[in-house]
Amino acid sequence: MRLTDEEKRQRKVERVVERFKALMINTCINQTARLFQELVRKRAVEPDGKLTCVSCGKRGFPGKPFDAGHWIGRTSKAVIFDPRNCHPQCAACNQYEAGPVNAGYDDYMRRRYGQQVMDELKRLSQTTKQWTREELAELYVSYREELRRYD
């Protein structure tokens, strides 16, 4: 009997959930975040194969020295996987937390999404999100599937 694509996907999710059960939840979040951040960089590659830092405008190739920087930091679990909150940043900009670098990211966010989305992300960041292993496994499998399409 052949499995449907959805059944195959569900089995993948179940295998990831089983693997995640042996790990602390923060480790599961970090493993999922690694895939998400790689996906953010892949989605943002321009036709010439380069990325542009949303804070300072520096251009470079995916990977080092480019990170996937969160406008609202990763400590806010409610928006950690929101694609509106994570964009390519050069490593130098991603390591600063104040000043002109954040102003550059703020300007980018305002131009790209508008103040309403920025306010929504800020509001969401104030909420508490308790990720489950099942939710993280779903995201993990989704991100991995999408990343394979870029290879």
Q: Where are the domains of the chain?
A: 5-150
Model pLDDT for residues 24-37, shown as the tens digit of each residue = 999 999 999 999 99
Model pLDDT for residues 127-149, shown as the tens digit of each residue = 999 999 999 999 999 999 999 99
Q: pLDDT band for position 109 (50/70/90)? A: very high
% pLDDT > 70, the chain? 95
Model pLDDT for residues 70-90, shown as the tens digit of each residue = 999 889 999 999 999 999 998
Q: pLDDT band for position 103 (50/70/90)? A: confident
Q: How far from chain centre, in Å, is Cα 76?
A: 13
Model pLDDT for residues 5-60, shown as the tens digit of each residue = 899 999 999 999 999 999 999 999 999 999 999 999 999 999 999 999 999 899 98
The Cα–Cα gap between 36 and 10 comes to: 19
DSSP 44: T
Provide CB contacts within 8 A for 140, sequence distance 6+.
16, 31, 32, 35
The Cα–Cα gap between 104 and 81 comes to: 21
Give all strands (DSSP E) within the chain, no chain letters.
51-52, 59-60, 66-70, 86-90
Q: pLDDT band for position 62 (50/70/90)? A: confident
Three-state SS string across 97-126, please? CCCHHHHHHHHHHHHHCCHHHHHHHHHHHC
Residue 98 is predicted with a pLDDT of: 54
The Cα–Cα gap between 17 and 136 comes to: 8
